[in-house]
Amino acid sequence: MLMVCIGGKKRTEMEYRSLAKKARFSCLKIPLIIDWLSRLPSAALASVHLQHGLDQVEELEKLCDQVARLTKEVSVTLEDRDRMIVDASKDADTQRTQLAEMREQAANAEKLRIQGAEENDALVKAGHDKLMAELMLGFKTCLAETMDESER
């Protein structure tokens, strides 16, 4: 078993690898790896390079999985967005149709109001004309009777 000395403390290769993995996320990463590589024999150094390559492959696989997951999420999100756009377009078309129908109904109601007002005006005028004719007839009759009585 390969033993490596760090800071005066002997550790096994597995302990050192564990330490190195933890150190990847700290500022001590580079000095630890340099110290580690300088203490290993050449066969162990080849093993380290191989392990480092395998670690990179694992990291790439993880990244590929993340990209695939994110791509799927984006695809689902885009499908949802497209569906919402289609629904909104249908709603807008429906509202435009309803608005056109309401405008048509309002125009018809205005025509009916105008027609009713014209008919009402015609009836009022006819009633007025008839009343005036009756008044004139009554006045003439009254005047004629008054003249007849004065002649007698």
Coil, strand, or helix at residue 53? helix
Interatomic CA distance for residues 30 and 38, integer angstroms: 12
Task: With beta carbons less than 8 A apart as the criterion, state whether 22 and 33 touch.
Answer: no
Q: Quote the percentage of the chain above a pLDDT of 90.
A: 32
Name the one residue in this structure whose structure tokens are 């205005």. 110
What pLDDT score does 5 carry? 45
Which of helix, strand or coil describes residue 62?
helix
The whole-number pLDDT of residue 142 equals 84
pLDDT value of position 15 = 66
The amino acid present at 77, given as its one-letter code, is T
b (16+ CB within 10 A) / e for 71-101: eeeeeeeeeeeeeeeeeeeeeeeeeeeeeee
Q: Report how far Cα 126 is from the mean position of its chain's Cα atoms.
A: 62
pLDDT band at 46 (very low <50, low <70, confident <90, very high): low
Give pLDDT tens digits for 109-146.
999 999 999 999 999 999 999 999 998 998 888 888 88
Convert the pLDDT of each residue in 63-100 to its tens digit: 888 888 888 888 888 888 899 999 999 999 999 999 99
